[in-house]
Amino acid sequence: MFPTSRWIVTVPFRFTLVAFIAAIVVCVTGASVARAQGGSDRKAAKPFYIEYKGVRIGMDAGEVRKKLGDPKDKGDVQDFYMFSEKETAQVFYDKGKVMAVSVNYLDDKSAPLPKIVLGIDLEAKPDGGMFKLVRYPDAGYWVSYNRTGGDDPLITVTMQRIQ
């Protein structure tokens, strides 16, 4: 592989991986977490974000590849897709089944709004950043929406099986 080709493949992959890890770190360090467990908040008991381009939690790796096509980087535990310069996705597998899907948008215009993903509007921080994670125990997974601050935000939408 030519050095330029390797750069084209590895740089977006590393960027996506760093963004995914950053989103997980934010989750673990005590960011606001909403628990959708019945009570008076009946809307949150059912997820709004149930799939990405037809890919759902628990789906077979073969089914994912039929829906999304050939990944840029293919593996037993992770596939990386680059749909455009502004949209990438990682699909994570556990024993051949989807356990998580993380989608990065490098543009406000191509990213879904928090209301579409979580069913609620989010209040932006002064720098424009937003974060919210909602657990759906009945569905068996959680969904997070993370938008970095600044003029060129990175929006990451992740859904992951609850372990």
How far does the chain reach from its first CA to its final CA, in angstroms?
38
Q: Which residues pair with 100 in a beta bridge?
A: 92, 160
pTM for the whole structure: 0.74
Domain that holds residue 61: 3-161
What's the chain's average pLDDT? 82
Per-residue pLDDT, 163: 83
CB 96 within 8 A of CB 132: no
Q: Per-residue pLDDT tens for 141-150?
A: 999 999 999 9
Tell whether the model's pLDDT for residue 32 goes beyond 70. no
Instruction: Please give the structure tokens belonging to residue 65.
Output: 């590849």
Residue 42, pLDDT > 90, answer no
- Across 57-61, average pLDDT: 97
Name the pLDDT band for 64 (thresholds 50, 70, 90): very high
| pLDDT score at 81 | 97
Task: Provide the pLDDT for residue 40.
Answer: 31
Domain count, the chain: 1
Q: What is the pLDDT of residue 51?
A: 96
Residues in the chain: 163
